[in-house]
Structure 1
Amino acid sequence: MATTSAGLLPFRRLPDGGVEVLLGHMGGPFWARKDAGSWSLLKGELEPGEDAHAAALREAAEELGLELPPSSAPDLVLGEVKQRAGKVVHAWAREWPQPGPDLSRISSNTVEIEWPPRSGRRIEIPEIDRVAWFTPDEARRVVVSAQAAFVDRLVEALAE
């Protein structure tokens, strides 16, 4: 059965009228030297019976290790996408007021994985090993391919 995740795409407006989105780079040895396709929304799986929007906010706070900024307007609904492996991801966007989070303070929660695969050896890795701000064009280049739709939907919503 395909899993369902929910995530948040924080964004900030730039003085020149542009926008940047905050993405997380997936942690662990498999992703360590990868760039394109190795960045993601701040997201995670829903707990049984959990509201998807609440899960998105919980997961984003856990992956950043920081409190999210209060929302001055309702979070923008970005809909859902189905990723290549079948996972369905629901997403929202929230504006992060300037100056934004101190990225040096990011401290992701960790997860245990088997590494190398089928070795029986377990290691603990951060879910997200770093975060960065990206313009929409940069974000489309590095984000998990199905999630690029969320960047497009945010840009369209902000243009209206």
Structure 2
Amino acid sequence: MPKQSAGILAYRNTGNVLQVFLVHPGGPFWKNKDLGAWSIPKGEYDEEDSLAAAKREFEEETGQTISGDFSPLAPIKYKNGKVVHAWAVSAEIDHTNVKSNYFEMEWPPRSGKTASFEEVDRADWFDIATAKQKIVPAQVPLIEELAAMQGQ
């Protein structure tokens, strides 16, 4: 069975502008990458209910809880076969107060030393056009589906 991830696409309307909340992955590989690097807050799960996993992952990656009327989006499939289940929800998230969990990896490579990095190093709100440039290409359909749902 392919790996599965669950995530949340938070959105808000400011004036007549639809914005989405995205996170930037932490760690040395992503440090200097911007376009095509951002993501919805998401993570892998096994036996857990996918919406519960999405809420848990959101909190782990942002340090903030999320609630509201969650609308399921069509699952997307990565080239490696991983399936991402996502929900859209209207929310106000403080992008300046993100406190992510950490992961460890060998760094520098082949050094035998382990370093700890934030899973998410920053977050922000983007209008739809900008978000489609910032987000990893496989997740663009999530933004397009939300925009269509919102009549944008």
Same fold (TM over 0.5): yes
Counterpart for residue 50 of structure 2? 52
- The correspondence for 2:79, drawn from 67, 77, 84, is 84
Unaligned 5+ runs, structure 1: none
1:64 CA drift (Å): 0.7
Separation of aligned partners in 1, 2:5 and 2:146:
18
1:84 CA drift (Å): 2.7
- The correspondence for 1:120, drawn from 108, 112, 115, is 112
- In structure 2, give the amino acid aligned to 1:89: V
1:118 CA drift (Å): 4.2
- In structure 2, give the amino acid aligned to 1:7: G
Q: How does 1:105-144 map to 2 (within 5 A)?
A: 105-144=97-136
1:25 CA drift (Å): 0.3
Unaligned 5+ runs, structure 2: none
Separation of aligned partners in 1, 2:73 and 2:29:
29
Q: Does the C-alpha gap of structure 1 residues 133 and 82 become closer, same or farther in structure 2, counting only changes over 3 Å?
A: same
- In structure 2, give the amino acid aligned to 1:67: T
- The correspondence for 1:93, drawn from 88, 91, 107, is 88
- In structure 2, give the amino acid aligned to 1:50: E
The TM-score with structure 1 as length reference comes to 0.88
Q: Deviations over 1:94-126 (max 9, x none)?
A: 101xxx233222101111122234443321111
Structural RMSD (CA): 1.6
116-125 vs 52-61, which moves further? 116-125
1:62 CA drift (Å): 1.1
Counterpart for residue 59 of structure 2? 61
Q: How does 1:28-47 map to 2 (within 5 A)?
A: 28-46=27-45
- In structure 2, give the amino acid aligned to 1:32: K
Q: Deviations over 1:8-38 (max 9, x none)?
A: 01000111x2200000001001100000121
